[in-house]
Structure 1
Amino acid sequence: MKLPNSLRALQHRNFRLFIMGQGTSQIGNWVQLIATSWLVYSLSGSTFILGLSAFSLQIPMLLITPFAGVLLDRLDVRRVLFATNTLAMLQSVVMLALVVSGRIEAWHIVVGNAVLGFGNAFDAPARQALISKLLPNRQELTNAIALNSTVMNGARFIGPMLGGLITAAFGEVWSFATNCVMRLAVISALRASQIAPHVNRQASAGLFRQLMAGIEYAYGFFPSRCALLLLAVSSFCLQSYASLMPWFASERFHGDSRTLGLLYSSAGLGAVCGMLYLASRTNIRGLFKVIGWNAGAAGLMLVAFSFAESFWLALPLLFVSALGMMVTAASTNTVLQSIVPDELRGRVAALYVMSFLGMSPVGSLCSGWLADHIGSPSALALFGTIGLVAALVYAYYFQRIRADILPLYQALEIPPHDE
């Protein structure tokens, strides 16, 4: 059966297995994240501790991922993913035991998130680097990256809603137990995939020099530098909403974990819709313009969300903001993975992850601290404004970006498209 053009990468068995396993596992991950977010706020009552919890989960993305990228260009990425997902499952088991025993404290969640974050620092770039190995040719890569992002964000839509329901109806214990079971899906998918044996590459330079080669490639080229810097600022400012959502769910909208789940799911649905748009594209040309427009829209909608008094108005505003943020991130990833040489793929994927996921914890920590001093709505409005200004600066340089990227598109024989 011939699949629609927007689903063309799914005709390959290895990619199908990976997508199904990854999607199931990520739903479980979000179920646990809702439980930990609600639990840490219930235990501490502090927006700063909320921010610290998010910070500990994601700061390894900033500190460790660049070096992980160098190692991924040397290692078998499938074995790396086996290890990271096993670590994540063990973390869930330990957290489950603490909750069941009644000994769970806020600091346990912070430390547990740090352990999970350490694994994620290797897992996230490894997933990006593996995608190209699941496909027979590079022509399918753009669609595969968009579909992978669609599934990841579909989990971001389903997982929080399911997590909110499970936590409200049965308690945090069952949320952690659900994640333990669902984590097995990606491990099974990796075992079932038939991937060409890993070829060991002799390192021609030291770890630091190899890291610098990746940085010079990604940041030495003006268009990729602008896209990565805009992504870093957007991630710092516009993803900080996630750590403050328990405050909005509880204080602004007077709800419970189900309210929190709906807020996260609204953002997840927006991200899914954005990824479906990207999956329908057949060409990477035009994505640099898409990046700027969506980053600006995301910042503007986050400012509007921070002032929304109605829960039902807040949901669509968060939907559009998350759509813009995820289209910005996925478009940047698609362009980078489409133009990068294979020998630098792991390092460039790591720099993308660092800019996207690595800046989020710093933003979460800063927004949590700021919210304690000026209030959550004002902190979120300030961060949204900074994100909007960054998008305007990017727009100012767009003509130079366009002039620099077109010769590379022509060299790679990427067919014309309206830029």
Structure 2
Amino acid sequence: MNRLTAFRAMHSRNYRLYFYGQSVSLIGTWMQRTAVSWVVYTLTHSSFMLGLSLFCTQFPSFLLSTAGGVVSDRYDRFRVLLFTQAASGVQSLLLAILIFTGHYNVWVILGLGVVLGSINAFDVPARQAMVYDMVDDKENLPNALALNSTMVNLARLVGPAIAGFILHKLGDGVCFALNAASFIAVIISLLRMKLPPYVRKIHKKAPLTELKDGWHYLRNTPSIARVILMLAAMSLFVIPYATLLPIYAKVIFHGNAATFGVIDSFIGLGAISGALYLASRTKNTTASRKKILRTNTIIFGVGLICFSYTSYFPLAMLFAVVAGFGMMAQTTITNTIIQTTVAPEMRGRVISYFAMSYFGMMPLGSLLVGTVSQYAGAQNTVLGEGLVALVVVAIYWKYLTTAARDHAKTAAERTSATVKQINTDTTWKKTARL
């Protein structure tokens, strides 16, 4: 792997600052996620409640992400991001205080999860759209998005392992306190960026109209809509297998919180390997991205099938790495296709549908997986999720093996035509009302 090729987006100062600050913050985020799952399962011993805890944290994204996309396109993304990061830090601090003082129960944890999910609904569209502004050479945008995935999965590798140790030795409150402190790093990195002055946009349309424009744009851009629908299916039926990892740690492998952290870290190891592979690629055509998405979805499904009934821990960790490698492509490839083809004025709104299909569908999937496992058992449920992954890739096989239809047109021409159509439709409707 060519190191300079794999990290070429780091030549952009603003992106480099963001990468360093966000890396620290994400380690804290994964520590908190691990701690919440462990605390909920320890309090309730219920796989359903595990699913419900993820539901409470992520379902607000399903309800509010499109509003977050409109906010991202209408207002200064830098200020939006500063606010959401600070608010997330306050949520973690409040959770730490409640844990340390003993004034908590499972419903308090779930309620604070709803608060965090609501913040994330506005954070994700602004943060993902702002990556485009941070990269000086737009040819390096796919590399920046792959490095984002590397950053997330490095945090997934390190965060749960640290959380497992801290949970076992120091207690859950320390995990939440450290996460609150980690937001200082990303806030400092944002404040040190040298971004162009924000030019206030004149918006002639109401926010609701802009929301509808985003939906019409997505309907008229099938190359984006299809990958978002595929991601939604995977997020609903397959990716929530992670909900059941505490059961694997405690019941199947007869371990403790540290065991849970190790499992999650091996999944992260596979994911970061896949992300680095993507970052090192120089061939970044739509056809090549779809081929990777197809192959990695198969790898993901096979990895889950093999992991589901493996009781020998070292072998199970090997399959966890395989599953993590395959899972990584679901979000990274989808995000790359969106960011490299979407019209700039629609970026925030389209990314909000990406967030809805991932963060919004996963809580429904977590609830579904938790409920199914109550009756079918954790191992049968994970086996079924692996099989569903293969069904999903079979459904989208034709699309994933076909090059872009309109290869004679550039992405800019297609997106420009779609935006013009939206503006024409809006003008026609206004005229009709008159």
Q: Could you state the TM-score of these two structures normalised by the residue count of structure 2?
A: 0.91
**2:202 counterpart residue number:** 202
Q: Which letter does structure 2 place at the counterpart of 1:342?
A: P
Q: Which letter does structure 2 place at the counterpart of 1:183?
A: F
The 3 A distance-change label for structure 1 pair 202 and 395 is same
The 3 A distance-change label for structure 1 pair 280 and 219 is farther
The 3 A distance-change label for structure 1 pair 378 and 65 is same
Could you tell me how far apart the structure 2 residues matched to 1:3 and 1:265 are?
24
Could you tell me how far apart the structure 2 residues matched to 1:321 and 1:212 are?
37
**1:417 counterpart residue number:** none
Paired residue secondary structure (2:255): coil
Structure 1 residue 282, shift from structure 2 partner:
2.0
**2:338 counterpart residue number:** 336
Q: Which letter does structure 1 place at the counterpart of 2:333?
A: S
Q: Which letter does structure 1 place at the counterpart of 2:324?
A: A
Note the aligned Cα RMSD (angstroms).
1.8
Paired residue secondary structure (1:242): helix
**Residue pairs, 1:181-192, within 5 angstroms:** 181-192=181-192
Structure 1 residue 395, shift from structure 2 partner:
0.8
Could you tell me how far apart the structure 1 residues matched to 2:302 and 2:66 are?
31
Paired residue secondary structure (2:254): coil
Structure 1, residues 168-215: CA drift from partner, whole Å, max 9, x if none?
A: 111112111211211111011111111112222222323233223222
**Residue pairs, 1:12-411, within 5 angstroms:** 12-285=12-285, 286-399=288-401, 401-404=402-405, 406-409=407-410
Whether the aligned pair in 1 keeps the contact of 2:14 and 2:193 (CA below 8 Å) is yes
Structure 1 residue 288, shift from structure 2 partner:
1.2
Whether the aligned pair in 2 keeps the contact of 1:231 and 1:355 (CA below 8 Å) is yes
Could you tell me how far apart the structure 1 residues matched to 2:307 and 2:223 are?
31
Q: Which letter does structure 2 place at the counterpart of 1:300?
A: V
Paired residue secondary structure (1:203): coil
Structure 1, residues 104-156: CA drift from partner, whole Å, max 9, x if none?
A: 21111111111111111111121111111112232121111111221111111
Paired residue secondary structure (2:187): helix
Could you tell me how far apart the structure 2 residues matched to 1:409 and 1:389 are?
32
Whether the aligned pair in 2 keeps the contact of 1:47 and 1:372 (CA below 8 Å) is yes
Of 97-106 and 212-221, the range deviating more from structure 2: 212-221
Could you tell me how far apart the structure 2 residues matched to 1:337 and 1:288 are?
15
Structure 1 residue 310, shift from structure 2 partner:
1.6
Could you tell me how far apart the structure 2 residues matched to 1:322 and 1:220 are?
33
Structure 1 residue 217, shift from structure 2 partner:
2.5
- The percentage of aligned residue pairs carrying the same residue is 37
Structure 1, residues 252-287: CA drift from partner, whole Å, max 9, x if none?
A: 111111110011111111111111011111232110
Paired residue secondary structure (2:164): helix
Whether the aligned pair in 2 keeps the contact of 1:284 and 1:335 (CA below 8 Å) is no
Structure 1 residue 404, shift from structure 2 partner:
1.5
Could you tell me how far apart the structure 2 residues matched to 1:262 and 1:142 are?
30
Could you tell me how far apart the structure 1 residues matched to 2:306 and 2:157 are?
21
Q: Which letter does structure 2 place at the counterpart of 1:402?
A: A
Structure 1, residues 278-315: CA drift from partner, whole Å, max 9, x if none?
A: 11112321101111221122122212211211221221
Structure 1 residue 3, shift from structure 2 partner:
7.0
The 3 A distance-change label for structure 1 pair 64 and 162 is same
Whether the aligned pair in 1 keeps the contact of 2:301 and 2:389 (CA below 8 Å) is yes
Could you tell me how far apart the structure 1 residues matched to 2:209 and 2:33 are?
37
Q: Could you state the TM-score of these two structures normalised by the residue count of structure 1?
A: 0.94
Q: Which letter does structure 2 place at the counterpart of 1:301?
A: G
The 3 A distance-change label for structure 1 pair 162 and 405 is farther
Of 219-228 and 234-243, the range deviating more from structure 2: 219-228
